[in-house]
Structure 1
Amino acid sequence: MEPASCYGMKRKESMSTTSQENTKKLKTEPNGSGLVECERPQPSPRISVQFGCVQEPMTLMDLTELLQFAALGRVFGLEKPSWCRLSHQRRLKGVNVVVVDGLTQSDFYKHYVTFRHLRANYSTRLSFTPVSTNLASGIFTCEVPELDTLPGKSSQESSHPYQAVAWHPVTRKFGTKTRGLTAYTLTEEEMIKKRFPVKGLPGFEGFACTGGAERVTDSSPLYGLDCEMCLTVKGYELTRVSLVGSDGRCLLDDLVKPQNPILNYLTSFSGITAAMLRPITTTLREVQAKIIELLPPDAVLVGHSLENDLVALKLIHPHVIDTSLLYRKEFGQKFRLKVLADIILQRQIQSDERIGHDPTEDAVAALELAQYFIKTGPQQVLERHLEELWGICLTVANEDADSASTPTQLPHSNRFADVLRRCGQSVAYLGKRADVSLALANQQWHSSDREVLWSFKRKTTCPSFSVLQFSSFSDHLNSSSFHQEQHHHMVCTRLREMCIVFAGSFPAGYSERDVRRLFRRCGAVRRIRMLNATLRLHAEIEFKLLEGAELAVQTLNGLNVHGHCIKVQRPCHESMLDLTVTIEALQDDPLNSHLLYVVAQRPGDDHTFATTNGHTPDITAIKATNGLQPGLVGSSMPELCAVNGTTGAKTTTTSGQFHHTDSSGTSEDELREVFGRFGAVKRIILPAKPSGRRARHAYIKFETSESVHVALGSSQVLWKQKYLVCRSLTPPHLRSWAPHSTAPSGCEGESVMHDSQETTERVVRKLDHRLGKLFRCLPDSTLSVVVLPGQISSNTHQPGLCFMEVKPASSMKTF
């Protein structure tokens, strides 16, 4: 019986909820040996990027390669993308792409703290190479490689327009060939998963068993079953049961007296009234005995959402066919029995003119639906009813009630959008008008992000493949007083200033070379500008990485250089006031959680400290910066001092340089040996193109984040071994911060940008909130991709950013 929409959820919760949850995990062996595990958790799809591709910018071709494989897989012979790994692609429920117009990689990191949902929901992040064409159009119109023929079909048949059945959930489950009824009976594992009563499972001890045969054949008889229930003080109980034979003849139609007092007869759904049950004395046990007597050993019971009927009957039968699982939909949704009977059987049941359902009529309808499916075969069922039942078809059908267009024949091209439609997948585009030749039913134009999100959320089913365009940020830039290129130029300048420190005063005659030699021990230095206009000698030092500037402030501030106590500080202006908040957020970034930043000190650095600084760096300051407890420091000291087979604290490498892969490999080996004491080292990450012949800094990637905490707690020991460490702040896909910005701060238009900063922050906050709401409403196991397309201008190219994540399973209600 199909549960009524208004009370079906309550009924499911009341029917032995605890025991039915246990049935997912346990079953009893036939020999009665006890409970054993019957179902292993299914691995979920996930996406990851190969390490060698992390710092390589992603192109539109790379993106379409991933999207095509995610949506089509190997059914048509598509190969896995070479630059990333998408595991368990067949378990994906859909693909959703969001294009955020106007945003660049620099914009994201400028407003990094504000993009709370965007950085928290996505564990994979890559730079994106901007394109001059419309990105949504490029996704839909890209060519799919030559498709293989469909399984079990000749090359002539494979070009038939009914290719739409190839990727349908029905054919993915049952194939395309016509088979006997045994191909559609539920296995014991499927029955446990769908919460059918199964013999020996906890919660079903008092259920009667029909004593069915161990196996059935394709010639076994089918019996239709349907029940009606009422609500009692003990939950839902049986009030009427109907059983029909293979010929549709009614074998049993009895009213049943519930054992417990009735709270609600549910007359509008069951048709049962108090007057009807008043003279009834038939009990549940009597009805069970009648059904067991009527059913032969090899009988196959047929029903719609049959598990509810069997639980109400307290009856166990091992061979069942559920029509709600034959006529499948995506994401576990089910057709109502009334809808299937109307479209497939051309019959009106559960009429609004009649009070309640007729269980005999429903049992016959379920029986005939199963017989039709078995006789016709999955492929023919889809070809005949694909448009009117599933809404995806040989012709473009209206997917939304408010859209109206004339159906047109699907083209036979290898465009991605056309291939998706021919494979039976629903395709949708929502956003501003784009140069994509989709049918109007699949393409909806909206003027605001709010309308796009609202329209997508109100769809009754989530499209298999969808592209959404958010344009609020681009609209904001276009409406602002300053030019878009000027805006991005100033944003990059702000990011560059995050890596700048001011230092001084230095002794007279202190050269730029001396300053570089002093500050390079904290990380790679990009540029040094000596400030001679001041009363005393100062310098502006720009690091390539944010970690270098952070270490410089914490370790070199207050050092004595030839009698001058130098002060190292950040630029003092409004944009730097929230830098501490940004740094804390970067430390908590999932991309940085397993990474440790390391700078090796050269032998000459010791001499420099001895002669110019007068003392070693303040390790206490480093500990405070890393947020560590004093008790952690020195906990691993005895072990860490024994490196390379010696016991002294000075027995580590003194090269101060990290080799790329050379014949000896000594530097990387020493790094693994030193830092391997804190935990398993997964990888040593060296700069792609270090300045000079060898790099002085590197990233240590541990297997767990706990190893990073332990290493930071031993920073004093590591300094004795000539290593300076701090938390990673730079995401792995970035080689440096704002590499394209070379203009000085304070450029023309600064006041205009200052005036619009508050408005920009508000637009970004709303945008991030909508991206978070969209991610939450996606079905579980959906591949979600967010693309910040970047910008191409006459002077420079601003790279974009691509976020990728497969939404994990959750209890949140989706489409």
Structure 2
Amino acid sequence: QEKSCRLSAALLGEDCEISRDQLYELLKYAALGKCHNAAQPSWCHIYHQSHLAGVVVVVLHEMSQVHFYRFYLQFKHLRKVFRHRFTLAPSADFLASLYGEGTDLKPQNTAQGLTSTSSECVTKSSDLQCDPIIRRYGETRQGLTSYTLTLEEQKKNCYPIKGSPGCKDYISTECDQQRTDSSPLFGLDCEMCQTAKGNEVTRVSLVDARGRCLLDELVKPERAVMNYRTRFSGVTKKMLLPVKTRLSDIQTKLKEMLPHDAVLVGHSLNADLQALEMIHPSVIDTSLLFARTEGRRFKLKFLAKAVLGKEIQSEQKLGHDPTEDARAALELAQFFIEQGPAKVAELNLEMLLTAEKLAEVSQNKAALQSQGCGVQKQLNEPPRLSKPCFLDCLQVTGQKPLLLGRQGLDSSGPCQSNLSTSNKQILQRALEDVPLSTFSIIQFSLGPEYIASHLHAALHEKVRSKLTDMLTIYAGPFEDSFCLKSVKKEFGRCGPIQSLRVVTETFQPYVCVQYEVLEAAQLAVESLNGAEVAGSCIKVQRPVTAAMLDCDVLIKELELDVENEGVIYVAGLKKSLTETDLQEEFSHLKDLETLFLPKDLQSGKHRNCCFLKFQKSQSALDALEAINGWTVKGSELRSRNALTSGHLWRWMWHMNHSNGKQGKHIFYETMELLSDSEQDLRKKVKKLDHHIKKLYRSLQNNTLCVVLFPGLN
């Protein structure tokens, strides 16, 4: 049964700020894992990393946390699906830091480290025992029947099996004769397109043991083609227009051509047989024959070059040649059978792969540096190579990272890098290419007209202003001679107060209270509206402004935010209580995971509230019921569901304490300009959220997806 990967990061409050090095730790371990000596991140934990299908990083170019909270309601998918949020410390060159440049975290296999070992490429016999090929087949040379997949191996690797539920209408080749070591080998390879049905065959090639082509035909798919995959298949719409051959014709031809004891050879042959909808009982799969650890597989292109000395799948050609691939797979199997496992293990394919990839990285960087440095050319000095970055580390493990975006992506590295002109084009390319890559960086942008620094400053001011309004409540009316101290005490039980003033412009006095946390203001509205305070029955409400018309909707959505699942807010704590006291006081609450006690960032003293995070949502609900009205050291506690995600405490404090006067003077004209374009911006953000939703839904299970708001450079 497939294990489910998950990320655990029980960070709350002040711990929710991570550095670029910590982000690098996470991405490096997710992409490389223990088998490449990458360590678990120090600040979080990835369970079952070896089962990760891939890593996708979505970079929202020149967008920051301000954008997320200004357009919180528009980012509907983003806030409902992504369970963990962290504040990322700003970086001068964000994408470079994402790749790992300039960090202290050096890749395990640096160019220098490998140079010292590459001179010792002759494998010792003691090392052979650890080779996955020897561990699987032993050292003795055997006949071909020893290398055909067993029924269990076929089931494990998704081969079509007679009688299995998904193969009800599949056609058998009827090659049921007993195999011997002299049974004939045939190489098979197919190219596929994508239709509504899934993968459908567009071209089939079959070669015999001498490498002669017996079959090479184009096939008309049954359903309408959604993606021809021309870059890989070489098949175009124009090529298929005159084709009359159908899948049933190919099935008939293969049945006629193959003798009853035929052994089919191919590279990941299960995909070809699934697309052909055919069942064949005896197969050699070269992607499994040349065994590796951790379920990894060598690519056919690499094996052909390393073992046979042949170049296939040339980048100059349009797509793969299935006859060439079928012949290469066949020759690889013949080499393995003739030479035996020991000789194949002595090739030290892992070392050859690493050396090849590092050489390619070095050549690319050397070429770039020689182009950009005329002085070095004049002095005939060899170009200096920088240390391998994060993407280089992926390259040496056989992974080719994918970069898609409009700007700022370094296409000089060992990546598939594509510049597109619009977010829609980027999304389209991502939907096609991300499933084919184990590590992808997809960059979306709002467009240059929306990322100017003065517009960002105005946006910041709007968020700060709205946040101030949401933290503010008005209470009254009170009698002329009311006691302000008792009012402050009553409202202080809901949470830390930043300021309190008496409003005298009204017929009877009112009080304006500005809190430091959103939960405190909401608790005051919910618990004190209609209550008797300082001898008066009062009304408690937030200020009525245009920006506050959607306040109730926003509060409701914040409460339902996945980040706030299992988190409750507790107010009314005495300031004399320490974190240890509170841990002890709340220790009997079921499934309590973390306690966060907010502190004043200037004085360092804790506020009269805390946040409790529970492992289960139900445990949080039970705790809410138990805590409301609970007395701790003479102080009555009040609690409600949390509204602010863990990472927001520090950010809100800074926003709340920033000088809002600038917004009324310096930003006045800019604010008007922003108001004119904000409706367009809102639509663009909504569309961006839809793009992320579409991309997210297309990802395989067990894919780590990270969305980054890097901020302004």
> Quick check: TM above 0.5?
yes
Deviations 1:473-504 (A, max 9, x none): 6631429xx54323312322212221111112
1:664-683 aligned within 5 A: 665=581, 667-673=582-588, 676=589, 680-683=590-593
Q: Secondary structure at the match of 1:739?
A: helix
Q: Report SS of the residue matched to 1:430.
A: strand
In 2, Cα distance between the equivalents of 1:315 and 1:484? 60
Matched, 1:85 2:45: yes
What do the CA deviations read for 1:187-208 (whole angstroms, capped 9, x no partner)? 6543213344779978999999
Shift of 1:173: 9.4
> What CA distance in whole angstroms lies between the structure 2 residues aligned with 1:438 and 1:461?
22
Which residue is equivalent to 1:659? 578
Residue of 523, 539, 544 corresponding to 2:495:
523
Contact 1:106 1:495 in 2 (8 A): no
Summarize the Cα distance change of 1:570–1:324 in structure 2 as closer, same or farther, 3 Å threshold: same
1:470 aligns with one of 432, 444, 448: 444
Is 1:138 the counterpart of 2:97? The answer is yes
What's 1:18 paired with? none
Aligned position for 1:96: 56
Superposed displacement of residue 729, structure 1: 1.0
Equivalent residues of 1:668, 1:684 under 8 A apart: no
Tell me the equivalent position of 2:197. Answer: none
Letter in 2 for 1:503: A
Q: Helix, strand or coil: the match of 1:99?
A: strand
Q: State which of 717, 724, 731 in structure 1 corresponds to 2:638.
A: 724
Q: Which amino acid aligns with 1:488?
A: H
Please point out which of 570, 590, 595 is paired with 1:598: 570
1:270-314 Cα shifts (integer Å, max 9, x gaps): 79599x99xxxxxx9x999x84xx69xxxx764566668699999
Change in 2 beyond 3 A, CA 1:715/1:87: closer
Determine helix, strand or coil for the equivalent of 1:522: coil
Which residue matches 1:705?
A: 617
Secondary structure of the 1:506 match is coil
Question: Does the CA contact (< 8 Å) of 1:594 and 1:702 recur in 2?
Answer: yes
Number of matched residues? Answer: 609
What secondary structure is seen at the aligned counterpart in 2 of 1:429? strand
Question: Counterparts of 1:183-262 in structure 2 under 5 Å?
Answer: 185-186=148-149, 188-196=151-159, 223-224=185-186
Instruction: Give the deviation of 1:441 after TM superposition.
Output: 6.9
Partner AA of 2:618 in structure 1: E
CA distance in 1, matches of 2:275, 2:690: 43
Q: Decide whether aligned partners of structure 1 residues 573 and 736 sit closer, same or farther in structure 2, where only a CA change above 3 A counts.
A: farther
Tell me the residue number matched to 1:786: 707
* Secondary structure, counterpart of 1:738 in structure 2: helix
For 1:244 and 1:43, how far apart are their aligned partners in 2?
38
**What is the aligned-residue identity percentage?**
30
Shift of 1:472: 1.0
Residue of 680, 689, 702 corresponding to 1:759:
680
Shift in Å at residue 715 of structure 1? 8.0
Amino acid at match of 1:659: T
Task: Assess if the C-alpha contact under 8 Å between 2:628 and 2:639 holds in 1.
Answer: no
CA 770–343 in structure 1, closer or farther in 2 if over 3 Å, else same: farther
**Is there any run of 5+ residues in structure 2 with no aligned partner, and where?**
122-130, 191-204, 216-242, 314-321, 366-381
Contact persistence 1:225–1:302 (CA under 8 A): yes
| Structure 1 equivalent of residue 222 of structure 2 | none
Residue in structure 2 matched with residue 42 of structure 1 by the alignment: 2
CA spacing shift, 1:421–1:518, aligned 2, 3 Å? same
Q: Tell me whether 1:554 sits opposite 2:517 in the alignment.
A: no
3-state SS in 2 of match to 1:51: coil
* Cα distance between partner residues in 2 of 1:50 and 1:446: 38
Aligned to 1:493: 465
Pick aligned residue for 2:398 from 413, 424, 440: 424
Name the counterpart of 1:9: none
1: CA distance, partners of 2:482 / 2:695: 56
Question: What's 2:30 paired with?
Answer: 70
Higher mean C-alpha displacement, 685-694 vs 576-585: 685-694
Structure 2 letter corresponding to 1:701: K
Deviation at 1:550, TM superposition (A): 1.0
CA contact (8 A) 1:432 1:445 kept: yes
1:267/1:273 contact within 8 Å kept: no
TM-superposed CA distance for 1:383, in Å, is: 9.3
If each structure's helix is expressed as a fraction of its own residues, which one has the higher value?
2
1:32 is matched with none
Displacement after TM superposition at 1:777 (Å): 3.4
Root-mean-square deviation (Å): 5.5
* SS at 2:693 equivalent: helix
TM-score, normalised by the number of residues in structure 1: 0.61
Whole-angstrom CA distance in 2 between matches of 1:462 and 1:315: 26
1:98–1:467 CA contact under 8 A, matched in 2: yes
Aligned to 1:641: none
Change (3 A) 1:507 1:146: same
Counterpart CA distance in 1 for 2:114 and 2:61 is 45
Pair 1:105 & 2:24 matched: no
Distance 1:129 1:567 in 2: 42
Match status 1:687 vs 2:593:
no
Counterpart residue type for residue 671 of structure 1: F
Q: Sort the Cα spacing of 1:729 and 1:565 in 2 relative to 1 into closer, same or farther, 3 A.
A: same
8 Å CA contact 1:501, 1:549 repeated in 2: yes
Quickly say closer, same or farther: Cα 1:534–1:155, change in 2 above 3 A: same
Unaligned runs of 5+ in 1: 1-40, 162-170, 229-241, 254-265, 278-283, 348-356, 398-407, 603-655, 793-815
1:747 to 660, 664, 672: 664
Residues 596 and 726 of structure 1 are in contact (CA less than 8 Å); yes or no, is this contact kept in structure 2?
yes
CA contact (8 A) 1:50 1:85 kept: no
- Following superposition, the deviation at residue 686 of structure 1 comes to 3.0
Q: Which residue matches 1:803?
A: none
